[in-house]
């Protein structure tokens, strides 16, 4: 890691060491380029240190804690158990640190020069590095990601937290109100409810309002079982030391307030005015299908260029941007970007599950052997195909849905048909069989569920 001395000039400068940034840097180095990766905080960025990895660690632990307390149906009887939140937080931090160190090792092994500091464009071919020094470049890749959106009147302080701070707590709060109703709010709310927090969610419309209602109703049912109170059709107006006041006059009492109303692109302080880079009306960087900005020397990837704001999208774009920066004829032409909500049950979506000309078939987990055996029948698989039986979309609602959706992504990208999935042998007994069962049902040959004659 370069701390004192800086490379005077590089082929490719990558600004931001999150998942998209380090993918771009490593791949550019693999292509023979001299690369500098500039990161002001921790390698791995928000995903590895504050979001994806920490939240899924916490969700797994919360699930274990909850399942142990509800294991009587399986003949397991336990006494009183408790959660050591400080020890849990220590494990979360250690897991992220291990992965961060791994990224550093990979950068070093591939010849990437890691520069600790901020980067500001002084022209379309040079960067000023915080603390002194500059780097000239042939191509630059902006991978600065996003940051939690601030809600006016609820600016962050010791009591009002963003999602990152909410995942860093070394105690389990008694009460929590979450402002926002997207996937971050749902994941945070369910994990803390399972740890014993009394959770309230304030939704301007409804929770996960942009997702399939069949799936959301199952999640809402579980949220109700967990005691999560959802206030819909209202907005937060003000707060005092004890409660949040809503637009309908109701007061929601909570010791902590978490603002989870979305993410905003991180472009402040980059010096983009010294370049030809342009932003759209929402503040995201404009790019073409090769991830080139309006400045011929500068590319951009990940959250900073707009929806969907997902780590795995940034990873793929990092690889593409590296190839474009290296002079290769590459483009970001992926057909589908999967989305996973790590709720209970999990929701995973790839492609379109509704639309003109699509036939949608739903297979319930009540007919799946593994789900019945594990008392996890709260879910289904939907598969959508066109008139030629080409698979256009899949939705999975089940335990481990996020681990299964990859098969659907490959199927859609390759133009697979219902027959391709139905005729491929899936291991038994697994949740992945539900995708095969859905394809068989779509073909009118369901074995384990009777759809009628």
pLDDT category at 2 given cuts 50, 70, 90 is: very low
pLDDT 10s digits, 203-219: 999 999 889 999 999 99
178 and 238 inside one domain: yes
pLDDT 10s digits, 127-136: 999 878 999 9
In the chain, what percentage of residues exceed pLDDT 70? Answer: 99
pLDDT 10s digits, 385-421: 999 999 999 999 999 999 999 999 999 999 999 999 9
Question: Which among 281, 301, 325 is the end of a domain?
Answer: 325
What is the rounded CA–CA span in Å between residue 246 and residue 67?
34
Q: Can you give the length of the chain in residues? A: 453
Q: What is the DSSP annotation of 177-203?
A: EEE--SHHHHHHHHHHHHHT-EEEEEE
Q: Does position 138 have pLDDT exceeding 70, yes or no?
A: yes
What pLDDT is recorded for position 450? Answer: 87
Q: Which domain range does residue 197 map to?
A: 160-261
What is the rounded CA–CA span in Å between residue 90 and residue 113?
30
Cβ–Cβ < 8 Å for 234, 202: yes
CATH code, 212: 3.50.50.60
In a domain, 453, yes or no: no
Cβ–Cβ < 8 Å for 170, 330: no
**Average pLDDT of the segment spanning 252-280:** 96
Residue for token pair 């105690």? 171
In a domain, 3, yes or no: no
173 and 302 inside one domain: no
pLDDT category at 179 given cuts 50, 70, 90 is: very high
In a domain, 448, yes or no: no
What SS3 state is found at 143?
Answer: coil
What is the rounded CA–CA span in Å between residue 176 and residue 358?
42
What pLDDT is recorded for position 338? Answer: 98
**Average pLDDT of the segment spanning 111-121:** 96
pLDDT 10s digits, 19-34: 999 999 999 999 999 9
pLDDT category at 6 given cuts 50, 70, 90 is: confident
199 and 297 inside one domain: no
How much is the mean pLDDT over the chain? Answer: 95
What pLDDT is recorded for position 3? Answer: 46
What is the rounded CA–CA span in Å between residue 292 and residue 275?
13
Question: Which among 325, 357, 376 is the end of a domain?
Answer: 325
pLDDT 10s digits, 283-306: 999 999 999 999 999 999 999 999
What pLDDT is recorded for position 311? Answer: 96
Q: Pick from 285, 295, 287, 297: which is nearest to 325 by CA?
A: 297
**Average pLDDT of the segment spanning 63-71:** 94
Task: Read off the pTM.
Answer: 0.94
In a domain, 180, yes or no: yes
Residue 144 Ramachandran class (φ > 0 left, ψ -120 to 50 alpha, else beta): alpha
52 and 107 inside one domain: yes
What is the rounded CA–CA span in Å between residue 100 and residue 43?
6
Please indicate whether residue 428 is annotated as part of the active site: yes
**Structural domain count, the chain:** 3
13 and 138 inside one domain: yes
288 and 230 inside one domain: no
Beta strand residue intervals within 344-431, DSSP E:
346-351, 359-364, 380-385, 391-398
171 and 283 inside one domain: no
Question: Which among 214, 245, 261 is the end of a domain?
Answer: 261
372 and 397 inside one domain: yes
What is the rounded CA–CA span in Å between residue 188 and residue 166?
8
CATH code, 437: 3.30.390.30
In a domain, 124, yes or no: yes
Q: What is the DSSP annotation of 80-104?
A: -----HHHHHHHHHHHHHHHHHHHH
pLDDT category at 444 given cuts 50, 70, 90 is: very high
CA distances to 93, 129, 161, 276 from 122, rounded to whole Å, are: 36, 10, 34, 11
23 and 129 inside one domain: yes
What is the rounded CA–CA span in Å between residue 366 and residue 448?
10
The DSSP element (H or E) to which 299 belongs, if any, is strand 298-300
pLDDT 10s digits, 78-103: 988 999 988 998 999 999 999 999 99
pLDDT category at 73 given cuts 50, 70, 90 is: confident
The two beta strands, 175-179 and 263-265, are unpaired
Helix and strand totals (H; E) in the chain: 12, 22
**Average pLDDT of the segment spanning 212-235:** 96
Q: Which residue is catalytic, options 27, 210, 428, 448?
A: 428
What pLDDT is recorded for position 132? Answer: 80
What Rg do the C-alpha atoms of the chain give, in angstroms? Answer: 24
In a domain, 222, yes or no: yes
What is the rounded CA–CA span in Å between residue 433 and residue 64?
25
What pLDDT is recorded for position 106? Answer: 98
What SS3 state is found at 293?
Answer: coil
255 and 269 inside one domain: no
206 and 177 inside one domain: yes
- Cα-Cα end-to-end distance for the chain: 67
The DSSP element (H or E) to which 68 belongs, if any, is helix 52-69
Q: Does position 1 have pLDDT exceeding 60, yes or no?
A: no
How many other β-carbons are positioned within 10 Å of the β-carbon of residue 1? 13
| Contacts within 8 Å (CB) and 24+ apart, 153-156 | 153/236, 153/237, 153/238, 154/179, 154/236, 154/239, 154/257, 154/259, 156/259
In a domain, 227, yes or no: yes
Cβ–Cβ < 8 Å for 146, 304: yes
**Average pLDDT of the segment spanning 143-157:** 95
What pLDDT is recorded for position 4? Answer: 45
What pLDDT is recorded for position 5? Answer: 65
71 and 142 inside one domain: yes
In a domain, 63, yes or no: yes
């Amino acid at each position: 890691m370069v701390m004192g001395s800086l490379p005077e000039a590089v082929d490719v400068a990558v600004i931001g060491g999150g998942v998209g940034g380090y993918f771009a840097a490593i791949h550019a180095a693999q292509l023979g380029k001299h690369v500098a990766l500039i990161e002001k905080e921790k390698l791995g960025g928000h995903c590895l240190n504050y979001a994806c990895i920490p939240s899924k660690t916490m969700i797994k632990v919360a699930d274990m804690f909850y399942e142990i307390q509800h294991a009587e149906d399986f003949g397991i009887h336990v006494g009183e158990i408790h959660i050591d939140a400080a020890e849990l937080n220590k494990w979360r931090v250690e897991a992220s640190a291990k992965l961060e160190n791994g990224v550093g090792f990979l950068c070093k092994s591939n010849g990437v020069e890691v520069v600790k500091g901020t980067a500001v464009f002084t022209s379309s071919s040079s960067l000023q590095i915080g603390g002194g020094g500059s780097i000239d470049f042939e191509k630059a890749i902006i991978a600065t990601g996003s940051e939690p959106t601030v809600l006016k009147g609820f600016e962050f302080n010791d009591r009002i937290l963003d999602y990152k701070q909410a995942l860093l707590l070394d105690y389990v709060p008694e009460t929590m109100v979450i402002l926002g109703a997207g996937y971050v709010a749902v994941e945070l709310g369910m994990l803390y409810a399972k740890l014993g927090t009394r959770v309230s969610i304030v939704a301007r419309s409804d929770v996960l309002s942009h997702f399939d209602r069949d799936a959301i109703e199952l999640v809402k049912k579980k949220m109700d079982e967990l005691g999560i109170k959802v206030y819909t059709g209202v907005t937060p107006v003000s707060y005092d030391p004890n409660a949040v006041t809503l637009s309908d006059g109701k007061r929601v009492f909570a010791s902590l307030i978490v603002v989870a109303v979305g993410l905003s692109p991180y472009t402040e302080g980059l010096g983009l005015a010294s370049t030809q880079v342009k932003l759209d009306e929402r503040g995201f960087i404009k790019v073409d299908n090769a991830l080139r900005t309006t400045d011929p020397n500068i590319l951009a990837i990940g959250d900073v260029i707009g929806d969907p704001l997902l780590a795995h999208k940034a990873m793929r774009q990092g690889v593409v941007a590296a190839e474009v920066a290296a002079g290769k004829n590459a483009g970001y032409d992926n057909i589908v970007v999967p989305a996973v909500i790590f709720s209970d049950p999990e929701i995973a979506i790839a492609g379109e599950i509704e639309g003109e000309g699509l036939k949608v078939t739903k297979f319930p987990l009540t007919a799946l052997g593994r789900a019945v055996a594990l008392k996890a029948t709260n879910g289904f698989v939907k598969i959508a195909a066109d008139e030629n039986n080409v698979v256009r979309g899949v939705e999975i609602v089940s335990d481990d849905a996020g681990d299964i959706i990859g098969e659907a992504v490959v199927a859609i990208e390759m133009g697979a048909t219902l027959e391709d999935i139905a005729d491929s042998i899936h291991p038994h007994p697994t949740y992945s069989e539900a995708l095969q069962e859905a394809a068989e049902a779509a073909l009118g040959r369901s074995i384990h569920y009777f759809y009628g004659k």
